[in-house]
Structure 1
């Protein structure tokens, strides 16, 4: 069954939803879904885990009465039809986050894990000028938030700039319950500043960036 909705709020012509899904690949639930031909083809290309997430998102969109179809471009960036709205999606273990906005948007949700995995890979996404403001007592929190910001920037930009070290930068910030953080997409010709927002939901960090 799906428990809807863990978290829901509106901001800047945007709706953001976080929900829990568990064991919903049941015949009676799948019968309630009506997929387009493109969605059926795309579904066949996914792993079993991704299939569950794919179907869970569509089930919840129907549950909250959003009557739009999700399609994917050549970079597998999701977009809505009819046009006029932007969408961003993220998954982390049992939680899925959906953002639907009048603006371009990127969203990420990450679970704080006990295996220290994110510390082991920090050299892949933490710049030298970012490492200096990370408090050692709260390193994992900072790393999850910074990863979420860069992942959200990557999604907002459409997956064009792939290096989390070269193409994205996070300005210094202090941990707060709900906070706004300055961040950048760095291009060869120019850089653009954005404001990232993060919230802690149970054992997950939710991050979103709206290009207003």
Structure 2
């Protein structure tokens, strides 16, 4: 595990991005044999696929690496949560990158590697009123940011609203550093507005939304 040079700290929120070096066997032995995991965490870990096990271990090693000894638990929708009073957590993985957000507020985070594949699936998440403001010269960048925003909203809401077309909306924006983007969770009776932030980190886009 290498500490990646991106972090965002303020009084209420910490966001860290790590580069994952796959030391699966070393980490699994360390966490299981040294009883670093609680019994509930161990049972959850053993139920995961090999890919999810790597992510599970990477997140916990990253937290210990920065000195945060927190037990992470999961609800029935496998949304992570902390027993620490007044603290919320959101996690994301993409290839070798792991993103962790811990906040005093509800928070959603997503990290995605920039790939052409997203153009092929845009009909699954891109609304017609969102497609009109995309600069075709930077289509992949816009699509990754929009996807990241909707994924972050989905996590923020706890996975209740599943349709990226019907339940989430992104307002028009332009590509620029430290941009704040308005976005919405659309419910039957009302809609709620949020502000999303993004950063490009090498070939990845990091997006996060804090519900203050």
TM (normalized to structure 1)?
0.95
Runs of 4+ deviating beyond 3 Å: none
Please show how residues 58-97 of structure 1 align to structure 2 within 5 Å. 58-97=60-99
CA distance change for structure 1 residues 95 and 71 in 2, over 3 Å: closer, same or farther? Answer: same
C-alpha contact (below 8 Å) 2:109/2:207 kept by paired residues = yes
Partner residue in 2 for 1:16: 15
Return the offset for 1:23: 2.0
Return the offset for 1:166: 0.3
CA–CA separation in structure 1 for the residues paired with 2:56 and 2:160: 23
C-alpha contact (below 8 Å) 2:27/2:57 kept by paired residues = no
Please show how residues 58-207 of structure 1 align to structure 2 within 5 Å. 58-113=60-115, 116-207=116-207
The farther-off stretch of 61-70 and 157-166 is: 61-70
C-alpha contact (below 8 Å) 1:20/1:94 kept by paired residues = yes
Return the offset for 1:82: 2.6
Return the offset for 1:103: 0.1
CA–CA separation in structure 2 for the residues paired with 1:86 and 1:205: 22
Return the offset for 1:30: 3.7
Return the offset for 1:83: 2.9
Extract unaligned runs of 5+ from structure 2.
Answer: none
CA distance change for structure 1 residues 187 and 12 in 2, over 3 Å: closer, same or farther? Answer: farther
Return the offset for 1:130: 0.2
CA–CA separation in structure 2 for the residues paired with 1:133 and 1:28: 45
**How many residue pairs align between the two structures?**
209
Instruction: Say what the alpha-carbon RMSD is for the aligned residues.
Output: 1.3
Q: Secondary structure at the match of 2:179?
A: strand
Return the offset for 1:150: 0.1
CA–CA separation in structure 2 for the residues paired with 1:27 and 1:124: 39
Extract unaligned runs of 5+ from structure 1.
Answer: none
